[in-house]
Homo-oligomer: A and B are copies of this chain.
Amino acid sequence: MKKNSTVIQEDPENTLGERLRLRRKELKLSMKEVAISSGLSIGFISQVERGLTSPSLTSLTAIANFLRSDVTNFLSQPKSKSSITRHQERDVYTINKNGLQYERLSDSFPGHTLNSVIIHEMPGHRSESISHEGEEFFFILEGAITIYIDGVVNILEAGDSLHFDSSRSHSAWNHTNKVTTVLHVCTMNVFGDQDTVKDIPGIFDCRGNLIFSKDHSMDLNIHSGNK
């Protein structure tokens, strides 16, 4: 293989090897213990931690498993920036006037994972059942709502919250005759990246609903400020 074999992340504070070492030390393990338990040699662990060699995915998985940490924790990209959203300055997106209104809270910074909106579900509105990557957290701010997860009914009221893996089939129904307000936070799925390329039709929220369309034929009613 003709590739340069330096470790994937060039930031000296955040290399794969450094993260592995940090984690190992947190757990007060020796390289010997890690090596034996992951079926690798002590010398190799040393080289990996010092960035002299890069483990195969199989070896990395074995190491990570013994360190009780998901592989992804050692590979995720460093992130920066923050954003603040004032309650009087939320962007409001309307999808079909009788159904949903969104107020986008979180903005994006490079590599961000969290995505959050305030959703106003109109009385009686039902969203289609979907599933996708990531996980979601609902916090009911006002009103009540029924959420189906894999067909199981969950009736939530103000102050209740629900946290689940988005790969489970889920949908929402405002079974009341008033608007329900939900704070919705989810981990970003691959469809929702801001740097969308090629023929992805637009930006989706974490529930798979199209928010922006690229060709503007489906542009939504968007405005900022007071709803």
Interface residues of A, Cβ cutoff 8 Å to B: 1, 3-8, 16, 23, 26-29, 54-61, 68-73, 75-88, 105-107, 109, 111-114, 116, 133, 135-137, 139, 149, 154, 156-165, 167-168, 183, 185-187, 189-191, 193, 195-200
9 closest Cβ pairs, A-B complex:
A82-B164, A87-B159, A72-B72, A106-B163, A79-B165, A105-B161, A185-B185, A85-B161, A73-B190
Docked pose: A200 CA to B158 CA in angstroms: 36
Given contacts A16-B57, A72-B75, 7 further A-B contacts (CB under 8 A): A56-B57, A57-B60, A69-B190, A75-B75, A113-B135, A114-B163, A139-B139
Residues of B within 8 A of A158 (CB): 87
* Max count, chain B CB within 10 A of own CB: residue among A79, A88, A114: A114
Let me know if A85 and B193 touch, CB within 8 A: no
Docked pose: A122 CA to B196 CA in angstroms: 43
Docked pose: A195 CA to B72 CA in angstroms: 16
Let me know if B84 and A160 touch, CB within 8 A: yes
Least CB distance, A88 to chain B, in whole angstroms = 8
Let me know if A185 and B116 touch, CB within 8 A: yes
Residues of B within 8 A of A165 (CB): 79-82, 109, 111-112
Docked pose: A114 CA to B139 CA in angstroms: 13
Which residue in B133, B168, B183, B186 is a CB contact (below 8 Å) of A183?
A: B183
Which residue in B6, B57, B70, B82 is a CB contact (below 8 Å) of A54?
A: B57
